[in-house]
């Protein structure tokens, strides 16, 4: 599987170097650690610092959403691997404005371990840290074990809620409350059509037949819940929406935000065909789409497929979703 790269083991560092060079008005790389990317305005006094993070290969997550109204910094891990504690701690120091810092990341063992270690080190320096885990992946655990679920594309909207709350001047406990509320009200289901390949091996991360798809496969290639013949876009969309609404019922008249996320090699043409069906299904049930997001938000290198996220909104969450942001990879006025 072909890739534009130099030395495979240098690809993450070279990506960060290129990213910082492309967007110097938004981000900078800390001299203390080349994997620590922060906003040029990081550390605003009195503002809660919002840190998002995880492995590389999911771009524009996570460093792509650093900017006003969104995240303040992102430690960057190797491809599909958690950042170690050192860059997390450096980002924490940089974004701390004296009001505390919230860590936000997907619920994966490596991330939990490394971010927890960094939090302990930060608190030894009198930086107050709280954590919000993203657990939106319906396929990864049953409803009675939500705490075991993985975090995938729905995390974009949870991060957005946190960034909005912090930008509005909420204190740390309130930013955490809003973030947890957002996470509790979002569900995601995905479908994979083709594999990706990590730069070091350039071998497929999993194998699907020419006419196969897999429902619920994770963004690192974790097994899904159903494999079978490729179906039409409407049939796939219906399957994903059905599973989401079975897990998180949404009543007629309620409002939602909808995110259709491409996994890396799925065309916008296909994503809009999927969104078309999602909008039809929700309209049929009397559910109002307050705001929609279609594009690439949390990818998996060049994996084929997409995911659908639905966030149930009240007035507060709608306000957070609507909040203006200005980042290199996503702008909303």
Give pLDDT tens digits for 88-140. Answer: 999 999 999 999 999 999 999 999 999 999 999 999 999 999 999 999 999 99
Element containing residue 227 per DSSP (H, E): strand 226-229
Catalytic residue (one of 58, 147, 290, 323): 58
What is the chain's length? 333
Q: Is the backbone peptide bond immediately before 301 cis, with ω within 30 degrees of 0?
A: no
Query: What does the pLDDT read at residue 31?
Result: 97
In tens, the pLDDT along 46-105 reads 999 999 999 999 999 999 999 999 999 999 999 999 999 999 999 999 999 999 999 999
Vertex 292, ends 231 and 255: CA angle to 5°? 105
Place of tokens 């072909």: 2
The predicted pLDDT at position 73 comes to 98
Q: What is the mean pLDDT of residues 251-273?
A: 98
Of 331, 258, 261, 268, the closest CA to residue 298 belongs to 261
Strand partners, 225: none
Given a cut of 90, whether residue 2 has pLDDT beyond it is: yes
Give the mean pLDDT of the chain.
Answer: 97
Cα dihedral value 60, 64, 69, 71, nearest 10: 100
Tell me whether residue 220 is one of the annotated catalytic residues: yes
- Average pLDDT rounded to a whole number, residues 272-286: 98
Catalytic residue among 147, 220, 290, 323: 220
Q: CB-based burial of residue 254 (10 Å sphere; 0-12 exposed, 13-18 middle, 19+ buried)?
A: middle
| Measured distance between the N- and C-terminal CA atoms of the chain, rounded to whole angstroms | 39
Tens digit of each residue's pLDDT (9 = 90 or more) over 173-228: 999 999 999 999 999 999 999 999 999 999 999 999 999 999 999 999 999 999 99
Q: How confident is the model at residue 6 (pLDDT cuts 50, 70, 90)?
A: very high
Q: Give the residue from 49, 14, 50, 21 showing the smallest Cα distance to 35.
A: 14
Question: Distance between CA 254 and CA 231 in Å, rounded?
Answer: 30
pLDDT tens for each residue of 239-257: 999 999 999 999 999 999 9
pLDDT tier at 1, thresholds 50, 70, 90: confident
Q: Give the contacts of 160 (CB within 8 A, at least 6 positions apart).
A: 65, 70, 182, 320, 321, 323, 325
Residue 102 CA neighbour count, 13 Å, CB half:
30
**Residue corresponding to tokens 């071998």:** 203
């Amino acid at each position: 599987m072909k890739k534009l790269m130099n030395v495979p083991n240098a690809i993450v560092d070279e990506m960060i170097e290129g990213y910082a060079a492309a967007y110097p008005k938004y981000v900078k790389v800390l001299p203390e650690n080349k994997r620590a990317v922060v906003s040029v305005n990081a550390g605003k006094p009195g503002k809660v610092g919002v840190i998002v993070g995880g492995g590389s290969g999911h771009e524009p997550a996570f460093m792509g959403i650093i900017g006003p109204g969104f995240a303040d910094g992102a430690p960057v891990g190797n491809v599909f691997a958690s950042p170690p504690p050192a860059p997390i701690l450096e980002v924490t120091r940089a974004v701390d404005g004296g009001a505390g810092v919230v860590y936000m990341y997907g619920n994966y063992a490596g991330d939990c371990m490394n971010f927890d270690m960094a939090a302990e080190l930060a608190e030894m320096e009198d930086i107050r840290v709280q954590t919000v885990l993203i657990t939106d992946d319906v396929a990864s655990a049953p409803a009675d074990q939500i705490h075991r679920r993985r975090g995938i594309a729905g995390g974009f909207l949870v991060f957005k809620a946190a960034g909005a709350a912090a930008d509005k001047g909420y204190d740390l406990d309130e930013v955490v409350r809003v973030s947890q509320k957002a996470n509790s009200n979002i569900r995601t289901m995905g479908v994979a059509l083709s594999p990706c390949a990590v730069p070091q091996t350039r071998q497929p991360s999993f194998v699907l037949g020419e006419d196969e798809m897999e429902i619920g496969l994770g963004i690192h290639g974790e097994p899904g819940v159903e494999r079978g013949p490729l179906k039409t876009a409407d049939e796939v969309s219906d399957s994903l929406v059905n599973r989401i609404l079975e897990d998180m019922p949404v009543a007629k008249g309620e409002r939602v935000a909808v995110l259709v996320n491409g996994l890396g090699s799925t065309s916008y043409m296909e994503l809009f065909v999927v969104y078309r069906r999602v909008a039809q299904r929700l309209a049929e049930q009397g559910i109002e789409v307050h705001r929609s997001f279609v594009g690439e938000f949390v990818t998996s290198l060049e994996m084929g497929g997409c995911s659908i996220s639905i966030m149930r909104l009240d007035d507060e969450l709608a306000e957070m979703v609507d909040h203006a942001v200005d980042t290199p990879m996503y702008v909303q006025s």
